[in-house]
């Protein structure tokens, strides 16, 4: 029985969904949303705060400041409240209204940037410039800077990747979405050091410049970036899959039809993983994808027909993709021994 006295002390690390009943293809989805911050960003937030405390950067007078599309902001709000720090989150228009209210409910201040950077670095560029200006104006601000802080990826090197390796010792391919690239780099570095190769497939949003290309409109927060992630080292990445936002939305709604309400980046990662597996005839591969958060924060966007219509126009939800016809099994918790991770690993 876990008994905790601080909210960051609890995190469900070993929950996976077998997506075959929903998509007809073997893919295990690691759920990172079951903690009090509701997302994978709890790990980076806790690691960065603890490091700043160890290094003496954070004092009781400090005001934590961070640029976040939402989830890191919620995680830092929670940790700041629990440890007695003040926190200012700098976000932008794409931050879900409910995410913003969550941060405020936890006692944080939220500043919303509405105009992109004049130098072509988008809303993220404008957020970063705003944070830099505030830090220059007041020495009490402490910017953990998730975009450059090595404790962001180290958190996943220490926790996420070993947890996956423990449950899937014969893992073939791992799909991870890219924002700051902390999750991707921590996992990729961990698996590179293991003797058995695991293919690392990064999933990015069309319109993101994480791996180069031209910036485009992106409306779903979390995945994708308008500035190249400083933490990203492409030499650790085997392949990149790019996903259109309409495909993200369709994957989210198919998951929801199966009773699993996930956030936008999970739709992106699942859509990218399924298209990669289809192209590589991946039926025999042991594949894991990472679901960064859950869907309730997206009720006003991805799961609201009016928002979908306004943003993507007619028809985004009328696709056949939404009709959950391919249900070979009604429900499964590793009922097929051939796909049970331990059995699969033993067989190889
Ligand atoms: C919902 C969601 N998905 C994915 C990511 C990307 O994670 P990372 O920053 O580790 O690349 C984030 C980051 O904020 C996120 O909030």
pLDDT digits (tens, 9 = 90+) for 253-274: 999 999 999 999 999 999 999 9
CB atoms within 10 A of CB 310: 10
CA dihedral sign of residues 202, 204, 208, 214: positive
Q: Is the pTM of this model over 0.85?
A: yes
Ligand 1 mutation target, pool 127, 177, 184, most atoms within 8 A of CB: 177
For the Cβ of 265 lying below 6 angstroms from any atom of ligand 1, the answer is: yes
Residue nearest to ligand 1 atom 6, measured at CA: 179
Q: Are strands 173-177 and 287-291 parallel, antiparallel or unpaired?
A: parallel
For the Cβ of 186 lying below 6 angstroms from any atom of ligand 1, the answer is: no
Residue labelled with tokens 């007078």: 61
Beta strand segments in 79-228, E: 86-92, 109-113, 141-143, 173-177, 199-205
**Is there a common fold for 7-34+152-347 and 41-143?**
yes
Residue 291 contacts residue 31 (beta carbons within 8 Å): yes
For the Cβ of 225 lying below 6 angstroms from any atom of ligand 1, the answer is: no
- Give me the pLDDT at residue 40, please: 98
Distance from C-alpha of 17 to C-alpha of 304, rounded to nearest angstrom: 25
Q: Which CATH architecture has domain 41-143?
A: 3-Layer(aba) Sandwich (3.40)
Ligand 1 mutation target, pool 30, 35, 37, 39, most atoms within 8 A of CB: 39
Residue nearest to ligand 1 atom 1, measured at CA: 222
Residue of 283, 80, 51, 276 whose CA lies nearest to 149: 51
Ligand 1 mutation target, pool 30, 38, 243, 265, most atoms within 8 A of CB: 265
Question: Which class does domain 7-34+152-347 fall in?
Answer: alpha beta
- Give me the pLDDT at residue 60, please: 93
For the Cβ of 182 lying below 6 angstroms from any atom of ligand 1, the answer is: yes
pLDDT digits (tens, 9 = 90+) for 122-168: 888 999 999 999 999 999 999 999 999 999 999 999 999 999 999 99
CA of 107 to the centre of ligand 1 (A): 22
**What tokens were used for 22?**
């929903």
Residue nearest to ligand 1 atom 3, measured at CA: 222
pLDDT digits (tens, 9 = 90+) for 279-320: 998 789 999 999 999 999 999 999 999 999 999 998 888 655
CA of 269 to the centre of ligand 1 (A): 11
Q: Residue 87: helix, strand or coil by DSSP?
A: strand
Where exactly are the structural domains of the chain? Answer: 7-34+152-347, 41-143
């Amino acid at each position: 029985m876990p008994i905790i006295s601080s909210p960051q002390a609890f995190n469900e690390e070993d929950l996976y969904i077998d997506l075959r009943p929903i998509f007809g293809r073997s893919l295990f989805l690691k759920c990172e949303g079951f903690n009090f911050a509701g997302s994978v960003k709890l790990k980076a937030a806790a690691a960065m705060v603890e490091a700043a405390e160890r290094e003496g950067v954070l004092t009781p007078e400090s005001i934590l400041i961070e640029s976040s599309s939402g989830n890191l902001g919620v995680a830092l709000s929670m940790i700041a409240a629990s440890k007695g720090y003040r926190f200012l989150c700098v976000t932008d228009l794409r931050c879900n209204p409910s995410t913003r209210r969550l941060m405020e409910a936890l006692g944080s201040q939220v500043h919303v940037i509405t105009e992109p950077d004049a130098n072509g670095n988008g809303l993220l560029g404008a957020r970063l410039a705003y944070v830099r200006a505030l830090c220059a104006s007041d020495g009490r601000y402490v910017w953990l800077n998730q975009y450059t802080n090595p404790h962001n990826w180290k958190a996943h090197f220490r926790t996420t990747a070993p947890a996956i390796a423990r449950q899937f010792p014969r893992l073939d391919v791992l799909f991870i979405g890219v924002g700051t690239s902390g999750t991707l780099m921590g996992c990729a570095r961990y698996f590179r050091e293991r003797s058995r190769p695991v293919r690392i497939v990064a999933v990015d949003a069309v319109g993101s410049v994480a791996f180069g290309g031209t910036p485009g409109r992106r409306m779903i927060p979390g995945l994708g970036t308008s500035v190249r992630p400083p933490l990203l080292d492409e030499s650790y990445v085997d392949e990149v899959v790019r996903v259109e936002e309409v495909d993200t939305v369709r994957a989210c709604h198919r998951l929801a039809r199966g009773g699993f309400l996930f956030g936008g980046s999970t739709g992106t990662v699942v859509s990218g993983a399924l298209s990669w597996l289809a192209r590589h005839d991946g039926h025999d591969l042991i594949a894991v994808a990472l679901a960064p958060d859950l869907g309730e924060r997206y009720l006003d966007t991805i799961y609201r027909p009016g928002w979908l219509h306004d943003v993507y126009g007619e028809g985004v939800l009328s696709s056949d993709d939404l009709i959950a016809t391919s249900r070979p099994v009604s429900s499964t918790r590793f009922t097929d021994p051939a796909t049970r991770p331990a059995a699969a690993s033993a067989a190889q």
